[in-house]
């Protein structure tokens, strides 16, 4: 090394300066672009809230219905004269689907989560988990097809000999299919939580002589309860927002009934039915889409927030 | 002695309960698998029991005949007669939508994820965006349809801005729908890149963007690709929002460009499934098989790409 090489230049040559300046500029530009992308996701929410909010307001202005009468009115007849907008039948239909599918999906989902996390040998697990994921990836229209053309005929074949009338469109087959659709969601979310329960807890229980059943139901399940509850809430929210399966299977007769073998209408089916019809832009019927959409959005939003609240505040923390 | 027998009988009962419970859990898990099998089986048989006025092949379960049938379905437009019904317009529409979603949702989604993981300091903006994305992922797809209807199709009644029921409107709506999924998947992939990689590059004087471009993105690429392809397959299977933004009409043509009207494969399946004539059920089943084949191809591509890149990253 010659002494000349050790000498550092007192001032960088001008080319470096330009280079550096360009690089700083480029860095800022890219940073701002990426920030814009992130903000765009927030704008989607703002857009949803603004669109639904503004059109809902206009709906209430045009029809002069109070929001209370809208939510509790028992007759829905948007094409009548005068048109009647009481969405209680829609809320009822939505609740029927959500409760009906949960009755069936939540226990099955939970049991399969327990099986996957506690009982399944590794090889069985490595086969079952991807299968469940595959089931979750099947498009909802396929479930709708299945409800209408497989489940309903099966119900008919089963119940008609007993003198029970099953309508072509009925709530029960929609409930069954929506239930099957949300099982993978319940089981994979719950399984994540149950597997995360520390081994030490299980081993302590086994050491005290507990059987596998007792460990699963009295140790692991209580420890993961908040996560399981959060998964249940999310699944119910998914059932409420489900559209295609219900459109094809449950039909579109807005009525408040406890008979699961007749047609009902949910909030989502109403939206599809009106959008597919001839409602003029700006008419009360067109605007009612957004009012119903707002109710649907708020219902699912509350459930989603509740789910995260449950997860965060009731979590058992183990070191 | 009596105590011993009591204990033994109780233990036996406890173990029995456990075994019954285990079997119940196993059966519950199996329902999913059974349902999937029944589903595929019934769709295939229904597709094979094709319409009566269709040239009939008697070999149920013959894969070659089925493939021929599906290819002929994929090539036809008309839907007034069962024998001429097909999915050509829907397949073309779905491929267009796939292209549009890829060009909009992936750059924006990956960009947002990179910003959140690599640039944003933990603070108010990041908390807001975090909560927001978590909430967006839970919004029912039909609500996105309403958003697309009001903003893209009608532009709040402003005629000059309104896109009408075109591919643009459909593509943008689906892009918004899958955006949170892309962001969540990309963030997970970015988080899996070890911190030491970033520290080493930063220590050598690289800027943040250089670190991301040259080191973080390449090593997160397999994860990002897998996640985004899964998001895209969600977009391809989505029906409800498209019904809101214009795909409901029975367009019989292949779209000429992004500003023409369209229909999509799942929408056509929906139209055929709700036909009162039961002969259309076979056509709908054929459409479902085409849709599932498309989704399967995409997922297989995701797995292949992941494996290939994973090998590259190691060597």
Q: Measured between beta carbons, which residues in chain B are less than 8 angstroms from residue A52?
A: 143, 146-147
Between chains, do A296 and B157 touch, taking CB under 8 Å as contact? no
Q: Which residue of A has its CA nearest to B270?
A: A141
> Are residues A144 and B29, on separate chains, in Cβ contact within 8 Å?
no
Give chain A as a 3 state SS string.
Answer: CCHHHHCCCCCCCHHHHHHHHHHHHHHHHHHHHHHHHHHHHHHHHHHHHHHHHHHHHHHHHHHCCCHHHHHHCCCEECCCCCCEECCHHHHHHHHHHHHHHHHHHHHHHHHHHHHHHHHCCHHHHHHHHHHHHHHHHCCHHHHHHHHHHHHHHHHHHHHHHHCCCCCCCCHHHHHHHHHHHHHHHHHHHHHHHHHCCCHHHHHHHHHCCCCHHHHHHHHHHHHCHHHHHHHHHHHHHHHHHCCHHHHHHHCCCCCCCCCCCCCCCCHHHHHHHHHHCCCCCCCHHHHHHHHHHHHHHHHHHHHHHHHHHHHHHCCCCCC
Give the nearest partner residue to B25 out of A39, A111, A282, using CB atoms.
A111
CB contact under 8 A, A145 and B154: no
pTM value is 0.86
Nearest to A241 among B46, B140, B266 (CB): B140
- Sequence-separated (6 or more) residues with CB below 8 Å from residue A260: A96, A100, A170, A171, A172, A175
Complex ipTM = 0.86
- pLDDT at position B33: 79
pLDDT at B315: 40
Three-class SS state of B78: coil
Per-residue confidence band for B59, with pLDDT thresholds at 50, 70 and 90:
very low
Nearest CA-CA distance, residue B206 and chain A, Å:
11
Closest-CA residue in chain A for B236?
A: A139
Confidence of residue B179 (pLDDT cuts 50, 70, 90): very high
Mean pLDDT check: name the lowest of A181-195, B215-229, B277-291.
Answer: B277-291
Provide the shortest C-alpha distance from residue B272 to chain A (in Å). 10
CB contact under 8 Å between A115 and B119, yes or no, is: no
Kindly tell me if the per-residue pLDDT of B128 is higher than 80.
yes
B78 interface with A at CB cutoff 8 Å: no
Q: Is the pLDDT of residue B101 over 90?
A: yes
Q: Which residue of A has its CA nearest to B155?
A: A51
Q: What pLDDT was estimated at residue A296?
A: 92
Which of A112, A237, A272 is closest, CB to CB, to B243?
A272
B294-300 average pLDDT score: 86
CB proximity B39 to A under 8 Å? yes
For residue B104, the model assigns a pLDDT of: 92
Looking at the complex, report in whole angstroms how far the Cα of residue B270 sits from the nearest Cα belonging to chain A: 7
Residues of A in contact with B111 (CB under 8 A): 33-34, 36-38
Please determine, for residue B110, whether its predicted confidence score (pLDDT) is greater than 90. yes
Interface of B with A in 196-215 (CB under 8 A): 207-209
A297 CB neighbours in chain B (<8 A) are 139-140, 143
Question: Pick from B116, B154, B244: which is nearest to A281 by CB?
Answer: B154
Give residue A107's pLDDT: 92
* Residues B150-175: tens digit of each pLDDT: 888 887 667 767 777 788 888 999 99
Residue of A27, A33, A35, A38 to mutate, interface with B, max B Cβ within 10 Å: A38
Q: Look at residues B94, B38, B75, B87 and name the one whose alpha carbon lies nearest to residue B233.
A: B94
pLDDT for res A12: 62
Q: What is the pLDDT of residues A201-238, one digit of tens each?
A: 889 998 998 888 888 888 899 888 888 999 999 999 99
For residue B282, the SS3 value is helix
Verify whether the Cβ–Cβ distance A211 to B128 is below 8 Å: no
CA A202 from centre of chain: 32
A318 token code pair = 């183990």
CB pairs under 8 A between A and B: 252
pLDDT 10s digits, A188-210: 889 888 888 888 888 999 899 88
* Nearest chain B alpha carbon to A50: B147
B238 touches chain A (CB under 8 A): yes
Residues of chain A falling short of pLDDT 70: 1-13, 278, 317-319
CA distance B286 to B197: 49
Contacts of A308 in chain B (CB under 8 A): 134
pLDDT above 50 for B57: no
Q: Are B116 and A275 a contacting pair at CB < 8 A?
A: no
pLDDT score recorded for residue A11: 65
Residue bearing the bigger pLDDT, B144 or A128: B144
Q: Could you report the per-residue pLDDT of B64-94, keeping only the tens digit for each? A: 666 777 777 766 766 667 667 778 778 888 8
Which pLDDT score, from 0 to 100, does residue A120 have? 85
Residue of A nearest to B109 (CA): A37
How many of the other CB atoms lie within 10 Å of CB of A298? 11
Q: Distance between CA atoms of A47 and B145, rounded to whole angstroms? A: 12
Q: Among all residues of chain A, which has the CA nearest to that of B290? A: A142
Closest partner residue to B138 among A116, A119, A304, by Cβ? A304
């Amino acid at each position: 090394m010659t002494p000349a090489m050790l000498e550092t230049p007192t001032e960088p040559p001008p080319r470096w300066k330009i280079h550096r300046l360009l690089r700083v500029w480029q860095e800022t530009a890219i940073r701002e672009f990426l920030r814009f992308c992130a903000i765009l996701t927030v704008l989607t929410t703002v857009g949803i809230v603004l669109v639904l909010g503004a059109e809902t307001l206009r709906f209430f202005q045009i029809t002069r219905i109070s929001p209370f009468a809208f939510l509790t009115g028992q007759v829905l007849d948007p094409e009548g004269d005068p048109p009647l907008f009481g969405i209680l039948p829609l809320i009822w239909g939505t609740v029927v689907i959500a409760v009906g599918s949960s009755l069936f999906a939540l226990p099955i989902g939970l049991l399969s989560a327990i099986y996957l996390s506690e009982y399944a040998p590794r090889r069985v697990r490595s086969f079952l988990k991807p299968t469940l994921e595959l089931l979750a990836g099947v498009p909802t229209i396929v479930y709708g097809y299945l409800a209408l053309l497989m489940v309903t005929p099966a119900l008919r074949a089963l119940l008609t000999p007993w003198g029970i009338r099953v309508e072509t469109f009925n709530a029960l087959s929609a409930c069954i299919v929506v239930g099957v659709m949300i099982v993978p969601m319940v089981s994979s979310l719950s399984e994540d939580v149950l597997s995360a329960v520390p081994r030490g807890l299980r081993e302590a229980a086994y050491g005290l002589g507990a059987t596998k059943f007792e460990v699963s139901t009295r140790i692991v399940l209580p420890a993961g309860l908040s996560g399981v509850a959060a998964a249940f809430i999310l699944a119910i929210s998914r059932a409420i927002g489900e559209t295609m399966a219900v459109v094809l299977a449950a039909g579109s007769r807005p009525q408040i009934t406890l008979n699961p073998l007749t047609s009902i209408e949910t909030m989502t089916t109403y939206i599809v039915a009106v959008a597919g019809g001839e409602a003029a832009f700006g008419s009360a019927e067109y605007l009612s889409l957004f009012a119903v959409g707002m109710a649907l959005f708020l219902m699912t939003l509350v459930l989603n927030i509740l789910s995260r609240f449950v997860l965060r505040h009731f979590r058992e923390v183990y070191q | 002695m009596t105590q011993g027998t009591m204990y033994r009988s109780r233990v036996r009962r406890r173990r029995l309960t456990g075994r019954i419970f285990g079997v119940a859990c196993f059966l519950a898990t199996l329902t999913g698998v059974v349902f999937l099998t029944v589903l595929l089986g019934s769709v295939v048989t229904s597709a094979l029991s094709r319409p009566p006025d269709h040239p009939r092949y008697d070999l149920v379960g013959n894969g070659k005949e089925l493939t021929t049938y599906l290819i002929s379905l994929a090539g036809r437009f008309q839907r007034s007669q069962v024998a001429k019904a097909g999915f050509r317009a829907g397949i073309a529409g779905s491929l267009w939508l796939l292209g549009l979603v890829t060009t909009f949702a992936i750059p924006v989604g990956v960009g947002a994820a990179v910003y959140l993981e690599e640039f944003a300091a933990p603070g108010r903006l990041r908390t807001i965006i975090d909560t927001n994305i978590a909430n967006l992922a839970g919004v029912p797809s039909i609500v996105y349809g309403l958003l697309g209807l009001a903003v893209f199709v009608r532009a709040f009644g402003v005629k000059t801005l309104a896109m009408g029921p075109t591919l643009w409107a459909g593509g943008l709506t689906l892009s918004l729908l899958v955006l949170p999924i892309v962001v969540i998947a990309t963030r997970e992939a970015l988080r899996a890149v070890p911190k030491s990689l970033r520290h080493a590059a930063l220590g050598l004087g690289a800027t943040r963007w250089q670190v991301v471009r040259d080191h973080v993105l390449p090593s997160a690429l397999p994860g990002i690709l897998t996640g985004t392809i899964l998001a895209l397959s969600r977009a391809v299977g989505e029906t409800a929002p498209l019904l809101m933004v214009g795909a409901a009409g029975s367009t019989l043509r292949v779209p000429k460009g992004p500003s023409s009207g369209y229909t999509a494969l799942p929408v056509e399946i929906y139209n055929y499934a709700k036909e009162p004539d039961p002969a259309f059920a076979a056509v709908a089943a054929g459409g479902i098989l085409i849709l599932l084949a498309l989704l399967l191809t995409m997922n297989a591509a995701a797995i292949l790409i992941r494996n290939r890149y994973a090998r590259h990253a190691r060597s």
